[in-house]
Every structure is written in C-alpha cells, then in structure tokens.
Structure 1
Amino acid sequence: MKIGKIVKSDSHINYVCQVFGPREADVQPAPADYAFGRFVRIAVRSEHGDDPDALFGEALGQSQEPVTYAVGIIYDTILQNPAFGSLGPRLSNEMQVELFSPDYISEKAVLTYIMVLGMLEQRTLFGREPEVLSVMHGVPLLSLELDSVIETMDDAEVCAFHLFRDPAGGPNSQDPYLHMGYIPHIIAQRSSLLPMVTLRIIDQLERLFPENVALLSIVKRNFAWRLKVETTG
C-alpha cells in the first residue's frame, strides 16, 4: 500500500515521508499503515526513464526488468499543524473553507521518519509471485529522490529481505538463513527511538521466523540489557 512520498532528507539514510492526506491517494492510509516499526520500501530511480513500453509493462505487472527498492523502517512520527497557536477569530470555519475555497491548501500534515536499512532487487512477472534477485543490508550507494513513493511491505517481502544464502560452493550454500546485517548500522545512529524500533523489529522476526525464536530471544535480551545500562548511565 502506498502511504506517502519523500519530502526531505536529514542524511543519506534518513528520510522524511509526508503521509497522503484526503484525496491525495486512491486509498488514504490509516495510522496502522505507518505505525512505529513498520517496514517500507521505496523504488530507486528507474533506469528505463520515461520509456512508455517499460512503464506500461510495470503497470500491468508484466515487466521483465528487475526493480531495485530501498528498504527502510519507520521510527518516528510528527504531526505538523502550522495553525497551532493562531487562536484569533476566523471569518470561516474549516467546513466553510473546504466548501467555498476548494483550492485552499491545508498545511496540516503527518510526517514519518524512515531509516534505510538496505536494498532489495526483485522482478515481477505476470501471474507469478515476485522473484527476489538480490538483498543487501547496510548503507546504499544511491540516494533516494524527492517525491519518491513509500509503500508498505507485506510479510513475504520482509522475510525475503532477511533471508541470505552463502556463496555458491559452500557446504550449506543452498540453505537460507536469517540475517540482520543492519543492526550495527542502527546502533551507530543517534536517536533515542532507534533502540526501541530494534526491539520491535526482533518481535516481528520472532513471529515470521518461529524456527529462530531461541536465537532471536537471546539477541533481544542482550539488546534490552544494553539499552537498560545505557539509559541508567
């Protein structure tokens, strides 16, 4: 589901998304769609540019070309209301403004902060499930563009982002395993909410990978202990 678009960035990996408001999207996102700890994806610049055949194929879900997405996590939300504090008299209320001035632009907005955790390349063929071609955890080489659309990720895509395979030739090269290579990447950032979003990520992975609950519980306990020690000083 499309929840909003990028309106600014604070760094190469931290972006601000403005959530779609009324009449800005076919389906207006609900608060649960941009909840704390939600995995999202953002398409990286398209290599085919404005090729009409490629764009038409993507619209039909028949594109043969792989699409690269930046995968991120929502870790903060800001409610923006420039009218707050301006409590003087009004000639028109909000309902009258909407009726008599339909071109009036509301400056109220919901902003979510997104940290990019890695990249996911996949290809979608008509009538088939998306095929994951490659996954990378860490800082991407390319930055994202303004007005890029942010979409929510379903459980299957979150699982695909966390499944790695060893290089060909190893004894277990065909056995996928759970990987969280972005954890050091998150720890290095300066935000009081990022440790909490890490615990939220682990909770989600415990549900998606029940066979790894024992390992994830150890990681969660260690991380929670570290968070408690750092908080108490």
Structure 2
Amino acid sequence: MRLGKVVKSNSHCDYIVELDDENSRDDSPKPDDYGFGSFVKLDSKDRHWAVGLIYNSQLFNPMFLNMGPRLSSEPDPIFTPDLISETRTLLWTVLIGTLNGQNGDAYGIHGIPKVVVPVNTPVYKMTQDETYRFHLNQEQRPQFCYYSHLLKCGGTFAAQLTQQVLTELVESQPFAETDRRALSILCKELSWKTIMGSMR
C-alpha cells in the first residue's frame, strides 16, 4: 500500500513523508496503516531506494490558532468558492537499510543507505513477508544489525521504538524458536537498561 511521498530530509538517514489524503486519491491510507514503528520501503519505478521505520508523526494544520474574522453562520454553498483543505499528516522516517533481490531470494542489507533519496519518491508500507525478508542476510539467516543505529537515530522514542520492533519480531512466526529467543533476550536487556536509566 502506498502511504505518500518524500518531501524533505532532516539528515542523510532521516526523511519526512507527506501522507496521501482523500484529496490525493480515493483509497487514502487509514490510521492503522502508518502507525508508530511501521516498516516502509522507499521505491520508485526505476529502483528501490531504502527501507525505513516510522518513528514520529506531526499533524500540520495552518488554521490552528488562526484568530482572524470568522463567519457568524454556515456559508452559502452557492456563493462560497471551493475551499481546499491545507491540513497535512507528516511522518518522520529513519532509514535502516535496503532490500536486495526479489521474491523468495530477497534479503536485507542493514545500515545507513549510501544514496540520497530524491524528493517525491513514493513510500509504501511493507508486507509481513517483505519485513521478514529484510531481516534475513544473503545466506538466508536471521539478522538484526541496525540495533545501535536505531537507538541513536530513532528520535525521542528510540528505546520504545527499538523495543516494539524487537517484540514484533519475537512474535512473528517465520523465525525459528532459537532466533526468537535471542531477540527476546535482547529486548529484555534493552527494557532493563531503559528502566535503570530512568532511575538515575
């Protein structure tokens, strides 16, 4: 499912996505499609650019705190020009790697992508299978190599984001029991560090 397009970057691995609304297309994304911690892929017709995680959002409403004069009653639709909604939903996305190959041979390369993603690049929500493939290396073995990168670049909620991703990977069925156990230990260690850090 297409979510929107890239409109700005804060850094080489931190991009802002403008969400498609009902004025852009009929089947615009629903709130459940772009929640905190959702995996997304930045793809155009020519190439695959990167894989990212939604780590923050912002509702942009230019009418907020607009104290100008207002109509005392509902406007007459016959004499009122069409009003364009200027509200926007922006999604902050941290890039965590790329997805190589296709279908059953696909695998992930974790880390900061080398290329700069162009403005207006379409952004899509990744399927469960694509997310699973991204967490496999070239030898089709499980990997989670963006752990430290996510903790540094995941914004204010980096620890919670990393913990949520780990929990979802532990609960996913495709991974073997031993791999899920290793991810669970990593998740518990992060949870302990977060709790101890808040007590200092």
TM-score (normalised: structure 2)? 0.87
AA aligned to 1:109 is: R
Structure 1 residue 40, shift from structure 2 partner? 0.4
| Structure 1 gap segments, 5+ residues each | 47-66, 124-129, 167-175
Q: Does 1:119 align with 2:98?
A: yes
State whether residues 42 and 151 of structure 1, in contact with CA within 8 Å, keep that contact through their aligned partners in structure 2. Answer: yes
Q: Does structure 1 residue 101 correspond to structure 2 residue 101?
A: no
1:203 aligns with 2:174: no
Cα separation, 2, equivalents of 1:71 and 1:5: 14
Residue 70 of structure 2 is aligned to residue 90 of structure 1: yes
Q: CA-to-partner distance for each residue in 1:117-156, whole Å, 9 max, x for gaps?
A: 0001234xxxxxx354452100111011111111001110
Question: Which of 137, 147, 150 lines up with 2:120 in the alignment?
Answer: 147
- Please name the residue that 1:75 is paired with: 55
Q: Distance between the aligned counterparts of 2:89 and 2:114, measured in 1? A: 28
**2 CA distance for matches of 1:27 and 1:222?**
41
Cross-structure match for 1:62:
none
**Equivalent position of 1:21 in the other structure:** 21
Instruction: State the alpha-carbon separation in 2 of the partners of residues 138 and 93 from structure 1.
Output: 56
**Any conservation in 1 of the 2:94–2:153 contact (CA below 8 Å)?**
no
Q: TM-score, normalised by structure 1?
A: 0.76
CA 1:94–1:154: 2 relative to 1, 3 Å = farther
The equivalent residue for 2:32 is: 32
- The CA deviation at 1:165 is 3.9
Greater shift, 181-190 or 11-20, is seen at 181-190
RMSD: 2.4
Partner of 2:158: 194
What residue in structure 2 maps to residue 184 of structure 1? 148
Supply the AA of the counterpart residue of 2:110. H
Matching residue of 1:218: 185
Q: Percent identity?
A: 29
Deviates more, 1:136-145 or 1:184-193: 184-193
Q: Separation in 2 of the partners of 1:34 and 1:205?
A: 18
Once the two structures are superposed, residues 170-191 of structure 1 have per-residue CA deviations (whole angstroms, 9 ceiling, x without a partner) of: xxxxxx3210111121123372
Distance 1:84 1:120, change over 3 A: same
| In 2: Cα distance, 1:4 partner to 1:92 partner | 37
Quick check: 1:120–1:132 contact (8 Å CA) kept in 2? no
Any gaps of 5 or more consecutive residues in structure 2?
none
**Worse-superposed segment, 205-214 or 15-24:** 205-214
Aligned equivalent of 1:231? 198
* Deviation by residue 1:42-70 (Cα, 9 ceiling, x = unmatched): 01683xxxxxxxxxxxxxxxxxxxx4241
Q: What's the secondary structure of 1:106's corresponding residue?
A: coil
Correspondent of 1:136 among 88, 94, 109: 109
Q: 1:218 to 1:28 in 2, by over 3 A?
A: same
